[in-house]
Amino acid sequence: MKRLLILAYDFPPYVSVGGLRPYAWYKYMKEYGVEPIVVTRQWSNKYGNELDYIAPGESKATIVEATDYGTIIRTPYKPNLANRIMLKYGRSKFALIRKMVTAWYEFWQFLFFVGPKSELYRGAKEYLKHNKVDAIIATGEPFVLFKYASALSKKYGIPWVADYRDPWIQNKNCNHFMKIWNAYFEKKYAGNMKCVVTVSDFCRIQIATNVCKPFHIIPNGYNPDAIYSVSHIGQMSDKMSIALAGKIYNWHPYISVLSVFDSFISANNDIKAELNFYGINRVEEITNYIRKKNLEQYIHLYSQMDNESLLQILRGNNIMLLFNDYSIMGTKIYDYLGLHRQILLCYANDKEALILKNKFYPNEEINGLGTHLQEDLIKQTNSGIVVKNQEHLLQVLNDLYAEFNQNHCIACHSVHTEQFSRKEGVRQLAEMLQQNCFEHTCYV
């Protein structure tokens, strides 16, 4: 059996969509003749929110877990000064100092092995001193993992692959100097990589402006075992429930959706409906809106939870809310597809939403590539409703509520969703590694 070393910063138990991709590699690789060894950091999940990303690990020593799926190496994590200040004093205190410290690490981590993330490199190097592997794959971001994979590849003569969940240097919100700085190192590390794996043609075209290597597209997907484990859970029947899970970005028109939901509630006497947010990052803003509008009875916020627990709760809801990410497919839509629940995409062509997009959306559009990937997928799978604007959303909510009152559920007639299983993506990755890496492994 071939052996694959996986460098993955985000990884369960940390609650992150970025951790689900390498977790699928870990869980299913053995079924395709590859033994996975994951090098990640220790996650404590102490806070149940974004502070978990900077919270200290549980041990100063590396923790090694051997399971039927493979091996997980959890390296120590000690927060840097900026993160320790934030954990102690909160987000509003000493912001300038925290930014300066963070910038220092962002700059120097590519020249030296410094900062909390560098423990992954040390943990991987220690493992490779005593064990052989046939290939290395690093999944970014953080993209400094590409540096670690490149260095390990040179030191031990092992082919390595870069997995981009998102492009590195194309974010338009990044300042000009950092774009040049990151572009230099991206090209440098590409020098000895075997090939690139990414999630879409949009990402491929952007990455290819700076990286000249073979590309392989392996989309994200849903965890088939987790979906199967919740398939027995039925929809809520006493009230129509709409769910949104995960991070809300600056270009997402969440205030607009809240406003429409408020109008929907106000126009219907004795309405039995609710809007549920799970693990979102704008708790204070939304809580303030709820209190201002007296919507505590109808809008509820829940802390972050592990993916399997989240899927259980989402499965009980009637409708899945999804914000438009335009050229980005994201990962959330795949879980929604697997759950077999009606999807509401907001919005396709709303004036206020387009203003937010023009101001905050981080990716430049590419001629010849679609800017409505989620919309296309929803139509392809017949899995939901593409909401045009605020007025259309209010109409849709009223129509769905009429359906719910009649049937005590919301029908979903999606088709051909099985192709988006993460297990299929792992099969494709294992096949790609066999063709590009495993046949050429040599040790020095």
Nearest to 205 by CA among 370, 361, 407, 430: 370
Distance between CA 180 and CA 106 in Å, rounded? 13
Going from the C-alpha of 344 to that of each of 40, 225, 252, 387, the distances in angstroms are 35, 25, 14, 7
Over residues 173-206, the pLDDT tens digits come to: 667 777 888 899 999 999 999 999 999 888 898 8
Q: CA of 94: how far to CAs of 82, 90, 197, in Å?
A: 9, 9, 39
pLDDT at 364 over 80: no
From the list 134, 150, 174, the residue with the least C-alpha distance to 29 is 134
How many residues can be counted in the chain?
444
pTM of the predicted model as reported, rounded to 2 decimal places: 0.82
Q: How many CB atoms lie within 10 A of CB 16?
A: 22
Pick the closest to residue 319 from 409, 229, 402, 421 (CA basis): 409
CA dist., res. 80 & res. 70, Å (int): 31
- Cβ-Cβ contacts under 8 Å for 100 (sequence gap 6 or more): 82
Query: Which of 48-52, 250-254, 331-335 shows the lowest per-residue confidence on average (mean pLDDT)?
Result: 48-52
pLDDT top residue among 241 and 246: 241
- The answer to whether residue 443 scores a pLDDT higher than 50 is no
Are the CB atoms for 400 and 240 separated by under 8 Å?
yes
CA nearest 165: which of 211, 208, 220? 220
Contact 38/138 with Cβ under 8 angstroms?
no
Element (H, E) at 402: helix 390-407
Q: Give the tens place of pLDDT for each residue, 285-304.
A: 999 999 999 999 999 999 88
Q: For residue 345, what is the enclosing H or E element? A: strand 342-346
| pLDDT of 370 strictly over 60 | yes
Over the stretch 82-121, which tens digit does the pLDDT of each residue have?
888 888 888 888 888 888 888 888 888 888 888 889 999 9
The one-letter amino acid code at 419 reads: Q
Structural domains present in the chain:
2-78+116-220+422-440 (3.40.50.2000), 225-420 (3.40.50.2000)
Residue owning tokens 């829940």: 302
- The H-assigned helical ranges of 34-115 are 81-89, 95-108
> First and final CA of the chain: distance in angstroms?
20
Q: What is the gyration radius of the CA atoms in the chain, in angstroms?
A: 22
User: What whole-number percentage of the chain has pLDDT above 70?
Assistant: 97
